[in-house]
Structure 1
Amino acid sequence: MIRSQENPRFVNAVLDWPPTALIARLALVSAYLLGAAVKASDFPGAVAEQVHFGMTPPAFWAVLTIAVEIVGPVLILTRRWLWLGAGMLGVFTLLAAFKANAFWAMAAGHDRFTAMNAFVEHIGLIGGFVLVAMLDRRERAA
């Protein structure tokens, strides 16, 4: 019988499988890598996005966004200064959540609900970055 404190064997097998950690880190940063690729391949669109959000000068913010969306994931995936990559993406995600999903300033309705949902999803990603940094620190200390 499995006690509530123990994982089932198949869960332990997945968690103990060496590629699991890399796959999980890749899943966590995949949206940022995709975002960087899309922005880099359509730089005028990336600049237009910054204009839409009121960022000036927009070309500077487009370049910075692309850089953060590339460097942060690379640091997390390679586990070199993982804490820095997680911090970069966490701060970026928090700023983006406030800038792009200001649901509190919207009238009640579908758009507000959608923005609130996106905001909360961004907060969840930030929690993921904190956890990946904590797990990396614990693994290195062990």
Structure 2
Amino acid sequence: MSGVASWRRLALLALLLPYLISGVLKLLDFAGAQAEVGGLVSWVGGAALAPLTVAVIVLQLGGSVLLLLRGGRLAALGGAALAAFTLAATFLAHTWWQLPPGPERAHAFNGFWEHIALVGALLFAALAELRP
């Protein structure tokens, strides 16, 4: 593997670590994962919560593995799926506009834009996989 390819893989790993760690932690604590997912999508409950939680885990781990270990269209699909997931989760989890002015709002505001940056980085990585 060339030096550039090694750095590329290391950069992708850094980008994907939050998804890999989150997916593994959700596997290790599925009840906690369901509570986390349920807290973001309170309108989903009952029997639908477990399959949705499984889908989140599969998306986090599967999308990461595709982007990290594959190339071409499958890698681009993994990156695009993670970008779409992150965009949706950002609007669910970082609702800074609903908070009163203060430190909590500032923290949510910063978290929102940091996640938007992740969306951009994931899309950039996905599109880079489609280049010849």
Tell whether the structures are fold-level matches, with TM greater than 0.5: yes
- What TM-score does the superposition give when structure 2 sets the normalisation length? 0.88
1:129 is aligned to 2:122: yes
Q: Which runs of 5+ in 1 are unaligned?
A: 1-14
Where do residues 1-142 of structure 1 align in structure 2 (5 Å cutoff)? Answer: 17-53=4-40, 54-56=42-44, 57-80=48-71, 81-138=74-131, 141=132
Moved more, 37-46 or 71-80: 71-80
Q: TM-score, normalised by structure 1?
A: 0.82
Percent identity between the two aligned chains: 34
Q: Which has the higher contact order (CA 8 A, sep 6+)?
A: 2
| Distance in 2 separating the partners of 1:109 and 1:35 | 28
Q: How many residues align?
A: 125
Q: Tell me if structure 2 keeps the 8 A contact 1:55–1:61.
A: no
Give the Cα–Cα distance (whole angstroms) in 1 for the partners of residues 122 and 43 of structure 2: 25
Partner of 1:6: none
Over aligned residues, Cα RMSD in angstroms?
A: 1.6
**Deviation per residue, 1:6-54 (Å, 9 max, x gap):** xxxxxxxxx9533001101111111000000000000010011122221
After TM superposition, give the deviation of residue 55 of structure 1 in Å. 5.0
Whole-Å separation in 2 of the counterparts to 1:114 and 1:38 = 24
Change (3 A) 1:31 1:55: farther
Q: Which amino acid aligns with 2:29?
A: D
Which one has the largest radius of gyration?
A: 1
Which amino acid in 1 is paired with 2:118?
Answer: L
User: Displacement, 1:129?
Assistant: 1.0
State the alpha-carbon separation in 2 of the partners of residues 55 and 129 from structure 1.
28
